[in-house]
C-alpha cells in the first residue's frame, strides 16, 4: 500500500531509519578502537573541507548569524572536537585497576536520537556525529524544520566520510520529512537507546518525558561580572567579541553585564567606545515589547540578527556603527524582558553597590532563567573567583574569557561541545560539556578480594567492655579503630 499522508510517511521513514541505524551500530560494535577512530577522523576532515559551504547554506536558510563565524563553528565542531577526543579510550576495555581488581569495559548506548536546533544546525550535526560514533553508537537526526536543507546536506557530507573510512553510512542518518509525529516516534521507539537533545526548553522537556533516557540542556542566560580589578578594556573587548560572534546564537554567550555602582560610568564609557549602544528609556521600552512574545518566550525574529536588523524591526534608530544594543535594567523576571535569554546582540546592564550584591543579583538572574548553565567573571582577584564559584548556580564559571567561546571549550580547557549540560538545578541529566564518555555505559568486571570470613572479622565488635564505655575517652575508641584498619 502506498502512503500519501505526510505524518504517516514521516513515521514510516523514522522506523526504517532506526532499523538501518541499529544494524549499522551492531556492525560498528565489532570494530576496533583504531577502526572507529578512523571513521571519526574522516568526519572531522570532511567537516573542515565543507565548513564554509555548509555555513553559507545554514545562514541563507535560517537568516541567523554570520557566515564567517558559522564557518569557525563548523571547524570547531569537527576538527576541534576530534583533537580532544581522538585519544580517548571508548571501545572495549577502557581501564584496569590492579589494586582493586576492577576492569571497566565500554558499552555503547546503541541508537541515539539527535535533535538539532536551527541556531547552530550544521556545527551541532558534525559534533554529535563525531561523539556518537566515537562512543560506538549510531545516530538518527531529527532536524529543525527551519534548517532542514543545511542539516540534510551536512548529514550527506558525513555519510560519505563514514563510507570512505570503511564504515556503514547508516551510522548517521536524518529524517527528511520532519513532523511532530516523526520526532515523537524517534524518541519513543524501543530501539532508541538515548535522546541527545539540543534546542528550545519545550523540546527538551518533551525529550525527558518520552520515557527514553535523555541528555538535554536548559536555556543559557549567563551574566558577566566586570569586577573592579579587571582589565576594563580587555574585559569589554572579550564581552563584545563574544556577544557579536555569530550574532549571539551560542547559548553560552553573555546575556547581561553587571558591575559595581561606582564603576558604572567607566564601564559604560568603555562599552560605548567599543561599539555598544545604550538605549534611551523610550527606546528600551519600545524594544522590550518586541524581544519577547506574549507567552514570555523569546521572539524568534530577533534570534541571530544584527543590531541594525533588530533596530529596524523594532522601529528604533541606532548608529550604523553600533555592534551591540544595551538596555539598563533594574529588575529580574516578568516585566523585565531584558533579564531573559536573548540569542542576539542585546545585553542587559546592571549595577550593584558591592560584590556581595552583585552575586545575589547574578543568582537571581540564573534562578529566573539559565540555572546551571554559565556565569562569567572578569577579575584579577582569585578571592573573587573563589567567592562566586562557590555561590553561583552555574555549571561553567568562566574567568577572563569570552563567555560564548569559553563555554563551549573554544577558549578554555573545557570539553569542546555544542551541548552544554546544566545539571540537576537546570533540569539536565549532566552538568558536563557533553562528549563521548556521556554516550556510553561502563561494564565493571570485579574480582573477589575477600572471603566471608574476612568480612565477619572486619565487622566484629570493638574490644571495649560495657564498664569501660561509660568512662573511656573518645581517643581510646579512635585508636582501637585505627589499629583495626591497619590490621586489615
251 as an active site residue: the answer is yes
Which of 30, 103, 174, 251 is an active site residue?
251
Exposure b/e, 450-469, CB count within 10 A at least 16 = b = eeeeeeeeeeeeeeeeeeee
Q: Using CB atoms within 10 A of its CB, is residue 52 exposed (0-12), middle (13-18) or buried (19+)? A: middle
| Cβ neighbours of 425 (radius 10 Å) | 16
Nearest to 365 by CA among 402, 393, 398, 388: 393
Grid coordinates given for 363: 543568582
Give the whole-angstrom CA distance, residue 264 versus residue 324.
17
- Cβ proximity of 413 and 394 under 8 Å: no
- Cβ proximity of 123 and 150 under 8 Å: no
Report the run of H or E that residue 399 belongs to, with start and end. Answer: strand 394-399
The residue assigned the cell 584579577 is: 380
Distances (CA, A) of 430 to 80, 216, 292, 421: 22, 8, 29, 5
Give the whole-angstrom CA distance, residue 429 versus residue 426.
9
- Cβ proximity of 217 and 204 under 8 Å: yes
- Cβ proximity of 342 and 304 under 8 Å: no
The CA-CA-CA angle for residues 250, 193, 113, to 5°, reads 35
Known catalytic residues are: 251
Amino acid at each position: 500500500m502506498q502512503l500519501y499522508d505526510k505524518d504517516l510517511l514521516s513515521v514510516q521513514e523514522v522506523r526504517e531509519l532506526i532499523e538501518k541505524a541499529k544494524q549499522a551500530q551492531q556492525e560498528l560494535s565489532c570494530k576496533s578502537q583504531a577502526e572507529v577512530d578512523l571513521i571519526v577522523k574522516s568526519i572531522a576532515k570532511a567537516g573542515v573541507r565543507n565548513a564554509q559551504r555548509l555555513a553559507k547554506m545554514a545562514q541563507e536558510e535560517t537568516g541567523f548569524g554570520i557566515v564567517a563565524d558559522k564557518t569557525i563553528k563548523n571547524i570547531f565542531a569537527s576538527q576541534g572536537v576530534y583533537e580532544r577526543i581522538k585519544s580517548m579510550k571508548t571501545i572495549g576495555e577502557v581501564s584496569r585497576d590492579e589494586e582493586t581488581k576492577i576492569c571497566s569495559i565500554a558499552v555503547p548506548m546503541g541508537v541515539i536520537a539527535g535533535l538539532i536546533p536551527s541556531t547552530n544546525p550544521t556545527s551541532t550535526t558534525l559534533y554529535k556525529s563525531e561523539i556518537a560514533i566515537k562512543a560506538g553508537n549510531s545516530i538518527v537526526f531529527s532536524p529543525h524544520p527551519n534548517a532542514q536543507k543545511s542539516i540534510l546536506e551536512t548529514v550527506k557530507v558525513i555519510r560519505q566520510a563514514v563510507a570512505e573510512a570503511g564504515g556503514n553510512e547508516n551510522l548517521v542518518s536524518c529524517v527528511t520529512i520532519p513532523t511532530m509525529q516523526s520526532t515523537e516516534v524517534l524518541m519513543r521507539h524501543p530501539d532508541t537507546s538515548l535522546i541527545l537533545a539540543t534546542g528550545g526548553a519545550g523540546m527538551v522537556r518533551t525529550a525527558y518525558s518520552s520515557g527514553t533516557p535523555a541528555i538535554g540542556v536548559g536555556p543559557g542566560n549567563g551574566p558577566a561580572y566586570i569586577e573592579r580589578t579587571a582589565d576594563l578594556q580587555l574585559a569589554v573587548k572579550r564581552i563584545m567579541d563574544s556577544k557579536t560572534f555569530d550574532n549571539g546564537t551560542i547559548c553560552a554567550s553573555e546575556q547581561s553585564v553587571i558591575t559595581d555602582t561606582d564603576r558604572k560610568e567607566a564601564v559604560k564609557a568603555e562599552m560605548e567606545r567599543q561599539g555598544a549602544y545604550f538605549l534611551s528609556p523610550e527606546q528600551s521600552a519600545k524594544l522590550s515589547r518586541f524581544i519577547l512574545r506574549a507567552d514570555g518566550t523569546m521572539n524568534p525574529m530577533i534570534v541571530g540578527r544584527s543590531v541594525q536588523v533588530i533596530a529596524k524591526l523594532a522601529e528604533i534608530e541606532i548608529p550604523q556603527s553600533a555592534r551591540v544594543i544595551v538596555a539598563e535594567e533594574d529588575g529580574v523576571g516578568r516585566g523585565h524582558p531584558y533579564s531573559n535569554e536573548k540569542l542576539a546582540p542585546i545585553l542587559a546592564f546592571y549595577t550593584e553597590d558591592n560584590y556581595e550584591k552583585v552575586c545575589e543579583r547574578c543568582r537571581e538572574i540564573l534562578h529566573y532563567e539559565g540555572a546551571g548553565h554559565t556565569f562569567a567573571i572578569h577579575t584579577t582577584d582569585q578571592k573573587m573567583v573563589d567567592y562566586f564559584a562557590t555561590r553561583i548556580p552555574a555549571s561553567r564559571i568562566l574567568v577572563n574569557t569570552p563567555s560564548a567561546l569559553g563555554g563551549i571549550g573554544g577558549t578554555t580547557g573545557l570539553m569542546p561541545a555544542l551541548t552544554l549540560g546544566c545539571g540537576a538545578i537546570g533540569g539536565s541529566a549532566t552538568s558536563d560539556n557533553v562528549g563521548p564518555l556521556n554516550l556510553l555505559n561502563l561494564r565493571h568486571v570485579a574480582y573477589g578480594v575477600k572471603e566471608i570470613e574476612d568480612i565477619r572479622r572486619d565487622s566484629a565488635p570493638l574490644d571495649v567492655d560495657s564498664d569501660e564505655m561509660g568512662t573511656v575517652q573518645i581517643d581510646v575508641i579512635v585508636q582501637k579503630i585505627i589499629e583495626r584498619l591497619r590490621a586489615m
